Structure 1
Amino acid sequence: MQGFASQELVGRDREVDAVLSALRSPELRGALIVAEAGMGKSALANVVAGKLAQEMPVHRIHASSALTGIPFGALAPLLPVLSAEDTDSPLAVMRALLGRLRPAGAGSGQATPLVVVDDAHALDESTADLLSQLMASGRVRMLILTRSITDIPAGIPAQVWSGVIARFHLHPLTDAQVHELCSQVLGGAILSTTSAELARRSGGNPMFILALLAETRRTGSLTERHGVWLMGVNADPPQGRLADLLKAQLSGLSSEEREAMEIIALAEPVPVAVAFRLGLHRSVDALTAANLVSVEEAGSRLLRPRHPLYGQLVRHMVPAARSARLRQRVLKVLPEDTESMDGLLRSVGWSLDCGATVPDETLLRAAYMANNFFDSDFALRAAREIQDPALQPAARVQTARAHYQRANFDAAQELVTGTVEQAADLTTVKLGTLLRVQLHQRLASDVAGLDQARRAWQEAIERIAAEAEAAGTLNDELRADIESSWRGAALLEALIDVAKGAYSSSEAGISSLLEKARSAGDIEAELVSLALLGEIHSACGRAETAMVYTREALGIVNRSDHRFLNYHEFVLHRHLSALLWAGAWDEMANSVNQDLVISSRSALRIGGTVDMCLAVRELRRGDMPAALLKLTAAVEGMRTHDPEGHLGLALAIAAQLAAGAGDTDTADEMLAECDKAPPRGGLSTRVITRGNRLAAGYARTNDPRILAALRETAEQAEEQGLVAAEFELRCLSMYLGDPTVMNRLLKLEVEGPRGRAVNIFARAVLDHDIAGLLRFAAEPADPDARALGPLALQEALRLAKASGDRTQIQRVQRVISKTDNGTSSSRSSTAPILTRRETDVAALVAKGLRNAEIAGRLHLSVRTVEGHIYRIFEKLGIGKREELTAELLQE
C-alpha cells in the first residue's frame, strides 16, 4: 500500500479550480481554506502551489503551537539573516521579509508572490499582523489554511469578512470519493459497502481513511481475496498510527472537556438535557466547536462522538474504576424511559463492564437488539449472562442467531433445535422458526424443511393456546398474539409457495392477509405481506408496481425504532430486486445508504448484492469493463454472505463478460465454480441463473446447441408464468444473435425503462425500420437502453444488406464508422492514468501473455492479475485483450 504522503488528491477538483481562480483574480488578495484536521487542506494547497509555480513565486510558512508565543517565530525560515536584535523591530522584520519575497533585482514586472500559510490558527499575533499588512498593501497574495477563522489573530479575519479574501470550506469526502481513494491506495477493487463503512467510521476525513486502511489491513479486518478487498466486522479499539492521530485531536482538551467527552462516549447517545443536568454546558459547546462531538437535531437532541472512532478510542482509554464512577454520576440524572435502542446496548455493555447487575429481561432484550444490529459478539455476551431457567429457550435462540450471523451454521442448528417445541411464549417460537427457515434456505435447496418448520410453528401455537386456556390466562392480549402468530404461519406458507413459483395462486391469499393485518394493526404481518407481494410483482414483470409495495415495507422497518430490524435484510433484498428490474438506480443508492445508517454491520453483509446491482446497471448502459469489475467484487462478497442465493447468477454473468473480453481462463474458472454451486433461491432466480449459465457457455464456445437450450429454457419459463425470467432469457438470446425471439419480446409486458426500450427495439426490427434503429442507437430513450445501441446498429446493417439497397448500406456503415470513431476519441481524450503495477500488467497483456504467465513474472496471484486487468479495461474503456496494444498504452 502506498504511504500517506504519496496519494493523488481525490474529490477536490472543484475546490482546486475555485482556489486557483481566486488567487488569480485581480479583485482579491488571497484565499482562505477552512477545514478540520486531516481534511486535506495541505494536500490541496500543494496542488494549487504546483499549478501556480510557473506564474508567481511561491513561499511556505508553517505555523505551530510551539511557536505561538514567539514573535515572528513562524517566519524564521524566511528570515535567516535577521539578527536577534532586529526581531524586536516589526519594521526590520518587514524589510527583511520583503527582501526575501520581492528581491530588489527582480524588476518591477515581477508577479506578486504567493505566501501559503499552513495552520494559520497557530500564528503568533506579530506574524499575523505583519502578513495582514503586506496583504492589504497588495505586496503579497496569501493562501491561508486553518481549522477555524476565529482562532486566527485579528487582521486576517477582518479581510475575510470584508470580502477581499475568498473563503472556502472543505467538506468530508462523499462515499463515491472514499471508494475512489480506497481503490487508489489499495491498488485493487473494493466492495462498495466496505468503502462505505470506511466512510462512515472516518466521517469522510481523508487522514482517518488512510489510517483506517493501514490499521484494518494490519489487524486482518480488511483482507484481499481474489483481487477484491473486503471488510469484516471489527470491534477492536483504534491502535497504532490511527490511535495516535485520534489522541492528537483530543490532546488539547481541558480536564472538564475530557470528562464530558468520556461521558458522551461511554453513555452514547446522551440527551442534551442530561448533559446540561450534569453541568456540561460549556464543555459540550467546546467539544462541538472542536468537531469532536455532534448533536442529532432530529427528534430528541442527542450527543454522540463526531466519528465512531473517537467513541471507540475514548471508551478504551477510560480506566474501569473511573468508568464506574462516571456511570453512577450519569445514572442519577438519566431517565430510564429516554433510552434509544442503541442507547440500551451501550447502557447494558457499560453496566457489564463495571460489574453491575443487569436484570435477565433486560439482558434478553439487549441480546435480541444486538442481533438485530448484527453485533454477534455482544449478543453472545448478553445471552450468556441470563440465569433465569424460564428464559433459557429464548436465550438459546438469541445465541443461535448470533452463531448464524457468524456463519457458524452447525452451532446455530444445534442450538435452535428443540427451542420451538420447548418455548413457553409465542415470541420465542416465532424467532426460533424464522431462524430455522434462514438455516434451511442457506444449507438446503428444497422446500421440505420449510414445511416442517411451518408445521412445528403451528403445533407450538396450538400448544401454547391450549395451555393458556387450561390455566385461565387466555386474555385479550394473548388472543391477539395468537391471531398474529397464525397470520405469521400463513405467511410462511405463502413464502414457500412464492419460492416454488406459484405466483398467481399466492397473490390473492397474501393480499387477503395484508388486509387482515391492517385491520388488526399487525404491522409485522403487514410488512412481510408487502415484501412478498413486491417479490411476486417483480417476478411477474411488474417492477414499478413492486417498488410501491417494497418501498412501503422498507418504510415500516425504518420508522419502527428498530423493532423490526430482524426483517431488514429480507425486505431490503426484495426492494433492491424491484429497483434493479425497474432501473431506479438513484433510489437504490438511497436505500443502501439508509441501510448503512441503520446498521453498518448489515451493510457489510449485503455488499455482494449491492455490487451486483451496480454491475447490472453498468451492463444495461453498455459499460462491460465496469460491469465486470463490479461483478468480480460482488462474487467475493457473496462467497461470505448470500442469503438469497445469487452467487451462481453473479458467477454466470461474470463468466459471460470475461469470455466476451477474451479472458477464457477466468471464464472457465467461473463457469466451473457456477456448476459446483448448489441451486439456491426461488424458482425465478434459479431459472435466470440457468439461462445466464447457458449464455456464458455459448459466449465461450459458440455451440449452437447451447443457444437452442437457452431458447428451450425460456419457453419453460413462459409455461410456468415466470414473466421476468422469460424476458431476461429472451433478451440473452437476442444479444447472442437469435432472431426468433423478437415476436415474443414484443408481446411480453414488462414494466420499467428496459422493458420499454426492448419493446421499441423489437418493433423496429420486425418492421424493418432501419431509420428507427439508427435513431434508437443515436438517441437511447433511457440510459438503461445504451447497451442495445450496438445491437441496433448491427440489426440496421443486416436489414440494409438484406434489402440490397446500397444507399441504405452505405448510410448505416457511415453511422457505424462515426460511432466507432467517437468511442475511440472519447476513450483517448480522457487520458487515464494507470498505476505502476497496472502499467506492468498492461504491458505484458499487450505482449500476449496469459494471466498465469503474468502472475509468474510479477510474483502475484492469478486473481490479483485479473483484478488489475479489469481495472485497466475500465480506465482505458476497452473490452477485449486484443484492444490493449502498445500504441494505446503510449497514448
Structure 2
Amino acid sequence: MNLAWPVIERRAESAAIAEAVGSTDGSRGVLVEGVTGTGKTTLVTSCAAALPRPVRWITGTAASRNRPFGAVRRLVDATSPWTLAALLSDMSRGLSEELTGGSIIVDDAHLLDPLSAALLNQLATARSPTLVVAIRSGEPTPDAVTALWKDRGLGRVTLGCFDRAETETVLATALGGPVESRTVDHIAATTGGNPLHLRRLVEGSLAAGHLRRAHGIWQLREDPAVTAELARHFRERWLQSPPGTRRAVALVAFGEPMTLAVLGDLAKHVSMLGAERTGLVRFAAEGRTVVARLAYPFLGDVIRECVDDPTARRIRGELAARLTGAPDPAERIRAAELSLGSDRPAGARELTAAAADAIALCAFDRAVGLARAAVTDGGGLEAHLVRAAASAGTGRAAEAEELLATLDPTRMAEPDLVLWAMLRAGNLYRNLGSGDRATDLLAATRRRVTTPASRQCLDAARAAIDVRLGHTCAAVQVVERIRDAGRVPPAARMWAASAGCLALSLMGRGSEVPQWSRQTDGLTRWDTSALRFAIGQGEMLALTYTGEFGPAELCARRYLELARNHDDTWYGMSALLGKLELARGRLHECKARLEEAVSGLGRTDPEWRVLANLLLAQCLALLGRPSDGVAAAARAEDAHGESTVLYGADLGITRAWLAAASGDLGRAIGLARRAADQASRHGLHAVEAEAMHSAVRFGDRACGARLRALANVVDGDLIAPMTAQAVAAEAADGDGLLSAASQFDHRGSRLLAADAYAQSAAAYRRAGDRRAELRASTRAYTLARLCGDAQTPAIRAAAGPLPLTPREHEVAVLAAAKLTNHEIADRLEVSTRTIEGHIYHIYMKLEVPDRESLADTILMETTP
C-alpha cells in the first residue's frame, strides 16, 4: 500500500516562530529544537515561505563538522589570508550585506563545525539577516550555537511529539479510513508520538500484514513491526556504544520493565548512565519505583536480534534468577519466560505456575507458550489442563477440546476430575456453541463424584450454562441454593455468581446483583479467572437496566482495564459499554464503539458477536440507517446458536427497530410484542419491559397494563417513567407524557426523553394546545440533536425547532434573558420599533402572552 503521508500543521509552533523572527526587541531569529523524527526540517521548510527574502540554507552534516567553515563553504570565500578574527568579521559582514533584510535557515546546527557556528553567532549580533536555526535535542551542540538563545536573545521553540489526537488524525489520513481506538493507543504508546517512528511503524506493520482493515476499520492485530531502515538506524546507534553501555541496554531489552535495583545489580552505574545518554533507554517513576524501559517498545526486537545466542542465554538466565520467586505475578511470568531460552531453565512446576498466573491476568498467548513448555518438560495433569485453558482463551477452542478429550478422566482424582469437567464444559458451550454436550458432560461427571463440594461445583457450572440456554429461573434457584449453603468451594461460588449476576440482571432483579459480585472478592484463580467477566457482564447490565448510568460507566471502565490483555474479552466488555451509551442516547459514540467491537471480534466468541451486532443494528436504526442495520442483524443471526438462546428476545427487539426505521410501524409493534412474550417465557422481565416500551415508542397504545404489572417485578429508576409513558399514551394524555419525558430527562436517558416529549407534542396537537405542543416538540428536537440526530418514529412525526426566523430566534433568546426592548435594540444595532415588531410576531407564532411564558418555551430548547 502506497501511503500519501500527511503533514500535520504545527500551528502553535509556527506562530511562535513567526513571532520570534518578526520581533523588534532583541535578535530577529529563533532556535527550533526537537528529538530525531519530530519534523524540525519539515516545520522550518513550511515556515520558509513567510521569511524575509532572500533566503539561504545552511545544513550541518557529520562529514563537514570536522572541516573549517565546512557548513558554509558554498556561501562564502574561505580562502582569505586574514587572521581568523578578521576572516570571521569579513565573512559576517559580507553575508550581512548580501542578505540585508533576508534570512538564513540552518538545519542540524548541532553538526556545525566550530568556525561555522562562530560565524552564525556573529550574524546574530548584527540582527540581519533573520536566523532560523534547527538543532536536535540531546546531542552535543557547539557553544556558539547554544549561545544564540542564551546570550543573543533568539527565541526558542521546542518541537514535541504528536499527542494522541494528532496521532489518530495522522493514522486515519494516511490509511484512508478510521482506525480503532485500541490501535491508536497502542501505536501512540509504541512510538511516543514521534512522527518519523510513527510513519516507519505504520509502513512496517502494513508490509508485515500486522495492520489490516476489517469491516472498514484499521486494526493492529499483532505486535507492530518497523521498517528495516528504522531498525538499522537504532541498531547502529547501539553498536556504536561502549561495551558496558551495550550490555545495560541489552539487559533492559530482555528484562523491561526493570527496577533500578535489579539493573544496578547486573550493570555498572556508569553503564546505566551511558544507556540513558544513547536515547535507547529511559528511566521514569512508576508509582513509587523508578524503572528502566526502552525508549520505544519496538526497540526490544531490534536490540535482541543484535545479541549473539550465548550472550542472550546468559542474560536471560541472570534476569530469570533475579526475578524468580517475586511476589508480583507479572514478574514471575517474566522470570519463567526468560528461563525458556536461558542457561538456567525453569522446571515444569515453575512453568505451570507461571502459565496459571498468565491465565489469571488474561495473558493467554503467553500462557500457551509457558504451558506447552511445561508439558514438554514432563508436567503432569495440571500442566495439561492449564495448556487447554490457555488454548481456549486464545480462540483455539477446537485445539483445547482435543487436548481435554485425550485426557483419561477415569484415572483422575476427584478434584482434578471436577476441574477437567468444568474446563471442558465451559469451552464446549462458550466457544464451540455446544450447550447440550456441555450439560451432558457435567451430568455424567456428577454421577461419578461423591462429595458435596464436587456436586456444588458441577451444579454451579451447569447453572451458568443453563442461563445461556434460556433456563434462567431454574438456574437461579440452583445458584441461590449454593449461595445459601454453609461451606462452598471458591470455584462453585465463582460459577454461581457468574450465573446469578447475569440472570438476575435480565430478570429485572438488578438490585440483588451487587451482593452476588461482592461474594467473589478475592476468590479468582486461574481456572475461574474468565468468570469475573461474566460477573462483570451481569453487573453492567443490572446498572444499565436500572438506570444507574454513572455507576455503570465506572463499572465498565474497571472491567475494560482488567481485560486489557485479552482482545475478545475487551471488545465484549466494550460492546456492553455500547449498550449503556445506547441507553443514554450517545448514538455516535455508541456506533463507533460497536463498529470497533464487531470488527475486532471477528469469528470468535459467538455470545459477544451476537450482542455487539444486535446493539450496532439498533444504533444504526436509530440513526436512520436501516439498511446498514439489517447487515449487522444478519451477522448476529449467523452467530446466534444454541449457546446464545438467551439473546433471542434481543434479536426480536432489534428486528422491531429495523422495521420501525423502515416505516413499517405495524410490523415493528408486532415484533416488539413477540419479543416481550419470548422474554417473559424465560423470566427475563427487564428485557420484556424493554420490548414493551419499544412498542410504546412505536405508537402502541395498549401496553399500559402489562408495563404496570412489570413495574411490580422490575427494579430500578427506568420502569416508572416507562409505565407512566405507556399509561399516558393510552389516554392521549399530553401532561402525563410530558411528566414521563421529564423523568427520563432527569435520569440522563435523553433518547427515551426525546421520544416521550415527541409523543406529548402529538397529544397536545390533537388537543389543540398549540403552545404546549411547541414546547414539547422543541424539547424533543433539541434532545434528538444532542443524541446525534436520532430518528425514531415519534421524533420524525412530532419533533421540530421553534417556528421562528433566525432574527426572531435571536430576539426571542435575548427577550427570554430579560433584556428590555431598548437593550435588545442596542445589542442588535436596530431600532426599538423593529424589536417591538419582532416581539409581536414571536408572541403570535409561539402563542405566548408574555416574556415569562416565552422564557419557559425557550428554556425547553436550550437546556442540555
Query: TM-score per shorter chain, which class?
Result: 0.7 to 0.9
| Counterpart-to-counterpart distance in 1, 2:483 and 2:44 | 59
From 736, 752, 766, the counterpart of 1:802: 766
Please point out which of 626, 635, 639 is paired with 2:602. 639
Match of 1:606 among 559, 569, 578: 569
Task: Quote the Cα distance in structure 1 between the aligned partners of 2:507 and 2:692.
Answer: 15
Letter in 1 for 2:368: A
Q: CA RMSD in A?
A: 5.1
Cα-to-partner distance string for 1:163-217 (whole Å, 9 max, x where unaligned): 985665735633x654444332222233333333334443444433332322222
Q: Determine the structure 1 residue equivalent to 2:464.
A: 495
Following superposition, the deviation at residue 702 of structure 1 comes to 0.9
- Pair 508,649 (structure 1): closer, same or farther in 2 beyond 3 Å: closer
**Cα deviation 1:368-416 (Å, max 9, x = unaligned):** 4455554547725752563566x34333334433443443333321210
2:200 — aligned with what? Answer: 211
Q: Which residue of the partner structure matches residue 678 of structure 1? A: 640
Pick one of 291, 294, 299 that aligns with 1:305.
294
2:805 is matched with none
- The answer to whether the 8 Å contact 1:742/1:762 transfers is yes
Partner SS for 1:694: helix
How much has 1:250 moved relative to structure 2? 3.7
Give the one of 320, 323, 330 matched to 2:309: 320
Aligned with 2:751 (options 764, 775, 787): 787
Is contact 1:608–1:636 with CA below 8 Å preserved after alignment?
no
Q: Give the letter for the 1:638 counterpart.
A: L
Instruction: Kindly provide the amino acid, as one letter, of the partner of residue 797 in structure 1.
Output: A
TM-score normalised by length of structure 2: 0.73
- Determine if the alignment matches structure 1 residue 276 to structure 2 residue 290: no
Moved more, 181-190 or 604-613: 604-613
Candidates 571, 574, 587, aligned match of 2:554:
587
User: Could you tell me whether the CA contact under 8 Å between 1:773 and 1:796 is conserved in 2?
Assistant: no
> Could you report, residue by residue, the CA deviation over 1:296-343 in whole angstroms, capped at 9, with x for unpaired residues?
644665433343311122222222122234446657x73633385444
Distance 1:760 1:588 in 2: 29
Pairs aligned (count):
775
Provide Cα deviations, 1:7-59, integer angstroms capped at 9, x if missing partner.
1428x777777777777787897776665433555556666x38x82899987
> 1:802-832 CA distances to partner (integer Å, 9 max, x unpaired)?
112345556667778999999999xxxxxxx
Q: TM-score, normalised by structure 1?
A: 0.71
SS of 1:230's equivalent in the other structure is strand
Equivalent position amino acid for 1:417 in 2: A
Q: CA separation in 2, counterparts of 1:456 and 1:97?
A: 95
1:349 and 1:781 mapped to 2: Cα distance?
A: 53
Partner residue of 2:88?
A: 90
Runs (5+) with no aligned partner, structure 1? 107-112, 466-481, 826-891
Counterpart AA for 2:599: E
Residue 669 (structure 1) shift: 3.8
Q: Deviation per CA, 1:527-568, whole angstroms, max 9, x where unpaired?
A: 6666555435533557688579769968986xx9x8975556
1:222 offset after TM fit, Å?
A: 2.5
Please name the residue that 1:80 is paired with: 75
Go from structure 1 to structure 2 and tell me whether the alpha carbon gap of 1:760 and 1:344 turns closer, same or farther (over 3 Å shift): same
Residue 53 of structure 1: aligned partner? 50
Q: Distance in 1 between matches of 2:705 and 2:195?
A: 54
Answer yes or no: is 1:401 the counterpart of 2:389. Answer: yes
Indicate how the Cα distance of structure 1 residues 130 and 534 shifts in structure 2: closer, same or farther if over 3 A, else same. farther
1:699 aligned to 2:666? no
Residue of structure 1 in register with 2:675 after alignment = 713
What amino acid maps onto 2:762 in structure 1?
R
Q: Please tell me whether residue 287 in structure 1 is matched to residue 275 in structure 2.
A: yes
Structure 2 CA distance for aligned equivalents of residues 392 and 405 of structure 1: 21
Question: Is the Cα contact below 8 Å between 1:363 and 1:386 reproduced in 2?
Answer: no
| Alpha-carbon spacing, 1:809–1:791, altered in 2? closer, same or farther (3 Å) | same
Alpha-carbon shift at residue 590 of structure 1 (Å): 4.2
Spell out, residue by residue over 1:695-725, the C-alpha distance to the aligned partner (whole angstroms, 9 max, x if none).
2244346161342231232245356542431
Go from structure 1 to structure 2 and tell me whether the alpha carbon gap of 1:753 and 1:823 turns closer, same or farther (over 3 Å shift). closer
Contact 1:501 1:722 in 2 (8 A): no
Deviations 1:833-891 (A, max 9, x none): xxxxxxxxxxxxxxxxxxxxxxxxxxxxxxxxxxxxxxxxxxxxxxxxxxxxxxxxxxx
Determine the C-alpha separation between the residues in 1 that align with 2:466 and 2:784: 49
Specify whether residues 502 and 68 from structure 1 end up closer, same or farther in structure 2 by C-alpha distance, changes over 3 A only: farther
Work out the CA distance in 2 between the residues paired with 1:501 and 1:206.
52
Alignment partners' CA distance in 1, 2:518 and 2:148: 51
Aligned residue type for 1:282: V
Letter in 1 for 2:670: A
Which blocks of at least 5 consecutive residues in structure 2 are unaligned?
Answer: 790-864
* Distance (whole Å) between structure 1 residues aligned to residue 126 and residue 518 of structure 2: 61
The 8 Å contact of residues 707 and 733 in structure 1, kept in 2 or not, is answered as yes
Q: Alpha-carbon deviation of 1:726?
A: 2.6
CA contact (8 A) 2:180 2:219 kept: yes
Structure 2 CA distance for aligned equivalents of residues 336 and 451 of structure 1: 41
In the alignment, the residues of structure 2 paired with residue 750 and residue 730 of structure 1 have an alpha-carbon distance, to the nearest angstrom, of 13
Counterpart among 178, 190, 204 of residue 189 in structure 1: 178
**Of 733, 753, 766, which residue of structure 1 is paired with 2:695?**
733
**Which residue is equivalent to 2:822?**
none
Q: C-alpha offsets along residues 280-310 of structure 1, whole Å, 9 cap, x if unaligned?
A: 3222233345252445644665433343311
- How far off is 1:344 after superposition? 4.2
Change in Cα spacing, 1:494 to 1:254, as seen in structure 2 (3 Å) is same
Larger radius of gyration: 2
- Residues 1:148 and 2:110 are matched in the alignment: no
Q: How far 1:798 sits from its partner (Å)? A: 0.8
The reply on whether 1:435 has 2:423 as its aligned counterpart is: yes
Task: Name the structure 1 match of 2:228.
Answer: 240
Question: In structure 2, do the counterparts of structure 1 residues 233 and 812 end up closer, same or farther at CA, with 3 Å as the change threshold?
Answer: closer
Match of 2:6 in 1: 7
- Report the Cα distance in structure 2 between the residues aligned to 1:258 and 1:182, rounded to whole angstroms: 33
Q: What's the counterpart of residue 163 of structure 2? A: 173
**Structure-to-structure mapping, 1:139-538, within 5 angstroms:** 148=137, 151-154=140-143, 165=155, 168=158, 170=160, 173-174=163-164, 178-234=167-223, 240-244=228-232, 246-247=234-235, 250=238, 252-289=240-277, 290=279, 292-295=281-284, 297-298=286-287, 302-327=291-316, 334=322, 336-338=324-326, 340-354=328-342, 357-371=345-359, 373-376=362-365, 379-380=368-369, 382-384=371-373, 386=375, 391-417=379-405, 419=407, 421=409, 424=412, 429=417, 432-442=420-430, 447-455=435-443, 462=450, 488-489=457-458, 491-496=460-465, 498-499=467-468, 534-536=501-503, 538=505
**Is the CA contact 1:553–1:571 (under 8 Å) kept in the aligned structure 2?**
no
Report the secondary structure of 1:304's partner residue. Answer: strand
Q: Which amino acid aligns with 2:221?
A: G
CA deviation vs aligned residue, 1:665-695 (integer Å, no higher than 9, x gap)? 5444444444333336566533223321332
Q: Deviation of residue 486 (structure 1)? A: 6.3
**Cα distance change of structure 1 residues 230 and 625 upon mapping to structure 2, 3 Å threshold:** same
Q: 1:731 to 1:189 in 2, by over 3 A?
A: farther
- Between the aligned residues of both structures, percent identity stands at 21
Tell whether the 8 Å contact from 2:578 to 2:615 is kept in structure 1 after alignment: no
How far apart are the structure 2 equivalents of 1:523 and 1:685?
29
Matched-pair contact (CA < 8 Å) for 1:222–1:229 = yes
Equivalent residue runs for 1:490-889 within 5 Å: 491-496=460-465, 498-499=467-468, 534-536=501-503, 538-541=505-508, 567=531, 569-570=533-534, 573-574=537-538, 577=541, 582-584=548-550, 587=554, 590-591=557-558, 594-595=561-562, 599=565, 602=566, 604-606=567-569, 608-609=571-572, 612-613=575-576, 615-616=578-579, 619-620=582-583, 622=585, 624=587, 627-642=590-605, 645-656=607-618, 658=620, 666-679=628-641, 685-700=647-662, 702=664, 704-718=666-680, 720-741=682-703, 748=711, 768-769=734-735, 772=738, 781=746, 785-788=749-752, 790-792=754-756, 794-809=758-773
Alignment partners' CA distance in 1, 2:583 and 2:168: 22
For each residue in 1:749-794, what CA deviation from the matched residue of structure 2 results, as whole angstroms up to 9, or x when unmatched? 97788778868977987751399589969x9547x53434653553
Which amino acid in 2 is paired with 1:90? L
The separation in 2 between residues aligned to 1:124 and 1:298, in whole angstroms, is 44
